Structure 1
Amino acid sequence: MTLPQLYLALLVGGAVLLASIAAARLAHRVGLPSLLLFLAVGVVVGEDGLGLDFDNAQLAQALGTTALAIILIEGGLTTSWSNIRRLLAPAGVLATAGVGVSVLVTATGAHLLLGMDWQLALLLGAIVSSTDAAAVFAVLRSVPLPSKVTGLVEAESGFNDAPTIILVLVFSGAAADPPDLAHIVGNVLYQLAVGAVLGLLIARVGVGALRRIALPATGLYPLAIVGFGIIAFAAAGAANASGIIASYLAGLVMGNCRLPHRAATRSFAEGLGWLAQITLFVMLGLLVTPTQLPSAIGAALAVGLILLLAARPISVLACLLPFRVPWREQAFISWAGLRGAVPIVLATFPVVAGVSGARDLLHIVFLLVVVFTLIQGPSLAPVARLLGVTRPDQARELQVEAAPLDVLGAELLNLTIPPGSRLHGVEICELRLPAPAAINLIIRDGTTLVPSPTTVLLEGDQLLIVATSATREATERRLRAVGRRGRLAYWHGEYGDPDPAPAPGNESGDAPNPPSRRRR
C-alpha cells in the first residue's frame, strides 16, 4: 500500500467511524439499538452503495470473533456481580438448556415449514439462539425495571454466546445427519468448563499483579486489564475451549475487584467496546449484498416468527419454571430476547466451512436480525408496562456512578435527580446520610454551588457526594429511599432496596403526590 492509499484508507475509516458515532446518537434518540444503523452504514458504503467491495467471509469471521471477545470483556467489566450472583442458576440454565431447546424448536420449524435439510435447519437454529446484551440494554436504559429482570437478561446474554458458538462449529462440520448427542454434550461441557477455569485463573493472576505492581501512568491500568482479558480469550482458544466464556468471566472478575483506577478502566473499556461494535457491524453490513436479500425475506420472516412466538417462549418457560419466576417477568424476558452481533458473526462460520447453502443462511440471519430488532426494540418499554413489570407513572430510578479516591479509601458518587423523584424539596440535613458521607457540590442550571445543611434539592440537580467505600452502599440505599418516599421514607417502611416495594395503600401503582416546588 502506498502512502497516498494509506491516507485515503484512513480518511474513509475516519469518516465511517464518525458516521457510526452520529448513527449511535440518532439510534439513542429514537429508541433503537445502534446496531441497526451501524449495519446500515456498512450497507451504504458497500458494493451496492458507494462501491467498497468486501467479500472475505474468513476475514469477517476472524475479526468478528475478536470483536465479540472485546465486547464481552467490556460487558464483564461493567457488570455488577451483586446484581447477577443470585441469578447465576436461572441464567446458567437459560444459557445452556434454554439454547438447546431453542435450537431444536427453531430447527424443527425450519425443517417442516421451509423444507430445509436437518444440517441447515440445526445450523440456523444454533445461529439465531443467542441473545445480545448490547442490543437489549441500548433500549432499556430509560425503563425502570426490577434489578432481577435486567440482571437475568444481562447474565444470560453474557453466558449464552459460548454454547451457541460451540453448536454452530459442531453442526458446520457435521454430515447431513444430526451429530451424536453425547458428542455434542461432551464438547459443550468441556469447552465451558475449561474456558471458565482459564478465565477465572487468568483474572486472579491479573488482579494479584495489578494490586502489587505500581504502573507509571494511569492509562496503563485499563490497557493491562483488557490485555488480561485478551490473554484469557486466546488461552482458552488454544486449549480448544470457549474463549468467549473465558473473556467474559475474566472481565467480570477484574471489574468487580478493588483495582486501581476503576473509573478510568470502565471508561476505556466502554470506548473500546463501542469501537468493537462499530467495526463489527459495519464490516457485517459490507459483507452482505443487498440485491441478494429480497429472495430471503420470506424465510427470514418465517424463522423469526418461529423464534419469537415459539422457540424463545418455550425455552424461557421450560428453564425458569423451576425457579418460580412470575409469569409476567417470564413473558417480558421472552420478548426481550433481541438478536444482534453474535448471530450474524456465527452465520459466517458455515460460509467459511464451505457448507452448502451457507450464503442463503447468512442472508436469512441478516434480515431476521434487522426486521425483528425493528419490531422488538421499540416495543420493549410498552410491553414492560403492559405486563406490569414496570409502571408508566413510576419515577426513573437513580443511576449512580463512582470514581475512586484511592488515597482516601473513598469514592466520588455522581447522580442527577430525575423528574418525579421525591428528593425534590428535601433539605440536605433531612437526608441523614451515613457519616462521613457528604454532598460536596451541586450543579444547578449550569452553575455550581456549595450546599449548606438547609439547601433544598431540586429536580435536575446534579449531586457530587464523597463517601467511603464502607458506606457507599448505605448512602445509595438512603438516597433511593428518599427518592421514592420522601424525607419520611423510613416511616413508610422504605429502606432503598434495589427492587422497590409498592407503597402501603398504593398497590394500584399510582404515584404519590410530588412535593411542592420551592427554591432556597
Structure 2
Amino acid sequence: MSVEAASGALSPVMAFALVGALGVGSQWLAWRLRMPAIVLMLLAGIIVGPVLGVFDPQRDIGNLLSPMIAIAVAIILFEGGLTLNFHSLSDAAAGVRRLVFIGAPLGWLASTLALHYGAGIGWETAAVFGGIMIVTGPTVIAPLLRQARLAKRPANLLQWEAILNDPIGALAAVLAFEVVMVRNTATDAGTATMDFVVGIGLATVLGVVAGYGIARAFKRAYVPEYMKVPVLFTVLLLTFALADTVLHESGLLAVTIMGIWIANANLPSYTELRRFKEHATVLLVSGVFILLAANLEFEALARLDWHAALFVALVILVARPATVLISLIGVDIPFKEKLLVAITGPRGVVLVAVAGLFGERLAAIGVEDGALVGPLAFVLVAATVVLHGFTLAPVARWLGLTGAGVPGVIIVGGSTWSTALAEALKKASVPVVVTDPNHAKLRTARSAGVPTFTGDILSEAAEDRLEFVSYGTVVAATDNDAYNTLVATDLAPEFGRDRVYQLVREKSDSARHSLPATLGGKHFGDEKTLHELRDLMRKGWLFRVTRLTEEFTFDDWRQKRPNAVIYAFVNAAGDIRFVRKDDQVKPGPDVQIISMLPPGSLESEAAKVTPNLPDDLTP
C-alpha cells in the first residue's frame, strides 16, 4: 500500500471521477426528485469534503485546483455569452442596459455598505468584496431558470444580467484592489491605473478579434466541420490566458465578449456549437460546485459571528431589491417582473472563486479582515442558492410569471385531424397551440377556439412570440414528411427526444425511404400517416376524452371500447404522455385517456350508460 493510499488521499484520477459522479449524479437526482440541482450539489460537496473527509481538493488535486476552476469559469462565461443573441433580447433590452450600466455601480455601492455596516469589515476590504458581489452567478441562474420555467422577459433579464455583470464584477474588484494596493504599498497610483486601463482595453480587443476570427473562419470554411469545436476551445483558452496574463480576471471579460460576438455572427453551425457548449457547461458547473463545497473549511466559517447573518440579510432584503428597483425606474416593464428580478439574486461560482483569490491577496498586503472575504462569500452563496433554489419557482407562479402550470403541447400542422386532437387536449385541460406557415390551414383551429401561431415553428419569430417554456411536447403533423422530420430532429435536443413525436411517413416501411434513428421523432397512436388519419376522420372517427375512476377502471374502458385507439394519457397532475402502438400500459384512477373512436361507438354506448359511469362517457 502506498503512503498516499494509507493517508486516505485520493489519486487525481479518482478525484476527478468522484467530482464528475457527484456533480452529474446530483443533477440527475434533482431531476428525478424535482428539487433544485444547485442545492444537492452544494450538499454533496460538503458531505464528501469537510464532513466525511473523503475528498479534499487541496490534498487530492493540489496545484491544479486554481487553474481548473479559473478555466471552468471562463468556459462557463463564454457559453453564457454564446447564448446572448441581441435579437432574442427584444423587449428586455432596456431593462438589461439599466441593470448593467446603472445596476452594476449601484450594486457595488449597496454591497459595500452592507459589508461595512452589516459584516463589520473595513472600507478597503468592503470595496473590493463589494465589487465582486455585483455578480449574480450564471452558474446558478441557468439551472434555476431551467427548473422554474420562467416567462421569457424576466428570464432574459436575469440571464443577461448574470452573464454581463460577471466580468464587470471581477473587474470592479480588480480596480478596487489596485486602489487598496496603492494605499498599502509603495506602488505608484499612475502605474496601477495604467495597468488597469491597458488590461481592460487588451481584453476587449482580444475578445472582439477572437470572436471575429472564429466567425470568419467558420463562415468561409477555413476550418473543417469536425475541427470546429476543438478550434473553438483552443482559441477560447488562448484568449483567456493572454488577457489574464496582462490583468488578472480580465480574461473573463475577453471570453464573454468573444462569446457574444459569435452568438450574433449568424453562423450556420451556431446551434451545434451552442448545444455542445451547453453540455460542457453542465459538467463544469456541477464540477466546480462540488470542488468549492468540498474545499470548504469549517475553521474559516468559525471565525464568523452574527454579523455574517446580518450581512446576508441586508444583501438579500435591502441591497439587491433596492439596486434593481432603482435601476429599472421608468422602464416599460410590469412591476411584478421588476419585483421578481429584484428578489432573485443568487450568487455562484465566480463570486466564491474570485472572492477567495482577492481575500488571500488582501491578507498578503496586510489588510487584516481580508481573511474574512472567503468565508463570507461562501455563506452568501450557500444562503442565496438554498433560498432561491426553493423559492424562485413558487414565487414566480404566485406572481404569474411562469409558463403554463401544466407543460403544453405544440402541434405543427393545421389539418382537421390536428384540430380535433387539439380540441381533445383542451378538454383534458392541457395547454395546446397549433402552428402552420399557411394562415388558411389554421382556419378550422381558430374557429374551434384553439390557440394558433401562423409561421414556421423553427423561425426566430416563433422564438419571440411563442413562450416555448410553456410547452413540453411537440407533435409534427404536417402534410410534408420531410418537414415533420426536420422539426422533430431540430427540436428534440430542446424538448427531449422522448417528448417529440411525428406522424408516420409515407413509404416509411420501404428500405429505400427509411431513416436512421437519429432523425425524426417518435411515432404514436396506431402509427398511421396523415393521409390515413384524414380518411378515418372522413369516415366518422372522432377523438374522445375519458376520465378513469376507482369504479370505472381501464379494463372497464377497454371492454366498452375494444376498437378505440389510444393516443395519450393525462395524469392527475396534468402531465401528458403520448402512447405508442405496442406500449403495454394500464393507467389508474384520475387518468384521462385521449383516444380515437370509430363511428357508432358513442351511440352504442349511450344505450348502455349506467349512473355509476363518468359523465364524459355520455355523448
TM-score bracket, normalised by the shorter chain, equals: 0.7 to 0.9
For 2:334 and 2:55, how far apart are their aligned partners in 1?
A: 50
More displaced, 54-63 or 364-373?
54-63
Corresponding letter in the other structure for 2:212: R
- 3-state SS, counterpart of residue 145 of structure 2: coil
Q: What SS is found at the alignment partner of 2:346?
A: coil
User: Structure 1 residues 42, 55: closer, same or farther in 2, change over 3 A?
Assistant: same
Cα contact 2:120–2:307 (8 A) shared by 1: no
Number of equivalenced pairs:
450
- Asked whether the 8 Å contact 1:191–1:242 carries over to 2, the reply is yes
287 and 50 in structure 1: CA distance in 2 versus 1, 3 angstrom threshold:
closer
Residue of structure 2 equivalent to 1:222? 229
Question: Could you tell me whether the CA contact under 8 Å between 1:347 and 1:362 is conserved in 2?
Answer: yes
Is 1:329 matched with 2:337? yes
Alignment partner, residue 175 of structure 2: 170
How many angstroms apart in 1 are the aligned matches of 2:526 and 2:302? 56
Q: How many percent identity over aligned positions?
A: 21
Q: Distance in 1 between matches of 2:192 and 2:400?
A: 39
Query: Which amino acid in 2 is paired with 1:368?
Result: L
Q: Provide structure 1 residue ranges, at least 5 long, that are not aligned to the other structure.
A: 401-416, 464-514
Q: Structure 2 length normalisation: TM-score?
A: 0.62
In structure 2, distance between residues paired with 1:452 and 1:392: 29
Matching residue's letter, 2:24: I
Q: Which amino acid aligns with 1:221?
A: K
- Counterpart contact for 2:38–2:143, Cα < 8 Å: no
The Cα of 1:185 is off from its aligned counterpart by: 10
Q: Does 1:72 align with 2:77?
A: yes
* Residues 1:38 and 2:41 aligned together: yes
**8 Å contact 2:103–2:324 — kept in the other structure?**
yes
Hey, what does 1:105 align to over in structure 2?
Answer: 110
In structure 2, stretches of 5+ residues that fail to align are 413-424, 446-453, 457-477, 486-501, 504-520, 535-542, 544-566, 569-575, 581-591, 598-619
User: In the superposition, relative to structure 1, how do residues 38 and 517 fare at CA in structure 2: closer, same or farther (>3 Å)?
Assistant: closer
Structure 1 counterpart of 2:30, from 27, 30, 52: 27
Kindly state the Cα deviation for residue 516 of structure 1 after the two structures are TM-superposed: 9.9
Q: For residues 306 and 398 of structure 1, what CA distance do their matches in structure 2 show?
A: 44
- Structure 1 residues 95 and 433, CA, compared in 2 at 3 Å: closer, same or farther? closer
In structure 1, the residue matched to 2:238 is 231
State the Cα deviation string for residues 237-282 of structure 1 (Å, max 9, x = none).
3453832222123223324444354444233212221232233222
Indicate the RMSD between aligned Cα atoms, in angstroms. Answer: 4.3
Structure 1 residues 170 and 8, CA gap change in structure 2 (3 angstroms): same
1:179-218 matches, within 5 Å, as: 194-213=202-221, 215=223, 218=225
Counterpart position of 2:463: none
Distance change (3 Å), C-alpha of 1:89 and 1:397: farther
Residue 200 of structure 1 and its aligned partner are, at CA, apart by 2.4
Structure 2 counterpart of 1:278: 286
Give the distance between the partners of 2:19 and 2:147, measured in 1 at CA. 28
Partner-residue secondary structure (3-state), 1:519:
strand
SS in structure 2 at match of 1:324: coil
- What residue identity is the alignment partner of 1:438? Y
- Alpha-carbon distance between aligned partners in 2 of 1:108 and 1:177, rounded to the nearest angstrom: 22
Deviations 1:426-466 (A, max 9, x none): 9x975886697832434557789463154688654599xxx
Tell me which amino acid in the other structure corresponds to 2:173: V
Q: Contact 1:299–1:364 (CA<8 Å) still a contact in 2?
A: no
Shift in Å, 1:116 = 1.6
- Decide whether aligned partners of structure 1 residues 357 and 318 sit closer, same or farther in structure 2, where only a CA change above 3 A counts: same
Asked if the contact 2:352–2:377 (Cα under 8 Å) also holds between the matched residues in 1, the reply is yes
Structure 1 partner of 2:155: 150
Amino acid aligned to 1:38: M
Residue aligned with 1:378, SS: helix
2:384 paired residue among 369, 372, 377: 372
> Within 5 A, what are the aligned runs for 1:356-371?
356-371=368-383
Output the CA distance in 1 between the equivalents of 2:339 and 2:190.
32
CA contact (8 A) 2:137 2:346 kept: yes
The residue number in structure 1 matching 2:315 is 307
Q: Deviations over 1:457-476 (max 9, x none)?
A: 8654599xxxxxxxxxxxxx
Q: 1:208 to 1:64 in 2, by over 3 A?
A: same
Aligned match of 2:484: 439
1:420: which partner in 2? 430
CA deviations over 1:362-415 (Å, ceiling 9, x no partner): 112112211221112211122112223347657558699xxxxxxxxxxxxxxx
Equivalent residue, structure 2, for 1:132: 137
Deviation at 1:9, TM superposition (A): 3.1
CA 1:184–1:89: 2 relative to 1, 3 Å: farther
- Relative to structure 1, the CA distance from residue 181 to residue 109 in structure 2 (aligned partners, 3 Å threshold; closer, same or farther) is farther
Q: Which residue identity lines up with residue 384 of structure 1 in the other structure?
A: A
Give 1:468's aligned residue: none
CA distance in 1, matches of 2:408, 2:58: 45
Counterpart amino acid of 1:381? Answer: A
Amino acid at match of 1:167: A
Query: Higher mean Cα deviation, 59-68 or 146-155?
Result: 59-68
Provide closer, same or farther for how the CA distance between residues 211 and 444 of structure 1 changes in structure 2, counting only shifts above 3 A.
closer
Q: 1:93 aligns with which of 92, 95, 98?
A: 98
Cα offset, 1:71, TM superposition: 0.4
The structure with the largest alpha-carbon Rg is 2
Q: C-alpha distance in 2, partners of 1:388/1:121?
A: 37
Distance in 2, matches of 1:161 and 1:284, equals: 18
Structure 1, 277-286 or 155-164: larger mean CA deviation: 277-286
Secondary structure, aligned partner of 1:321 = coil
TM-score (norm: length of structure 1): 0.73
Q: CA deviation at 1:51?
A: 4.6
Mapped to 2, the partners of 1:516 and 1:210 lie a distance apart of: 49
The range that moved more, 330-339 or 207-216, is: 207-216
Distance in 2 (alpha carbons) for counterparts of 1:284 and 1:131: 17
Aligned to 1:451: 529
The Cα offsets for residues 40-91 of structure 1, whole Å up to 9 and x where unpaired, read as: 3333333552354444998654332221110012222344442225544432
> Do 1:233 and 1:247's aligned partners in 2 also have CA atoms closer than 8 Å?
yes
Judged with a 3 Å threshold, the aligned counterparts in structure 2 of structure 1 residues 242 and 11 are, in CA distance, closer, same or farther, namely: closer
Change (3 A) 1:189 1:82: farther
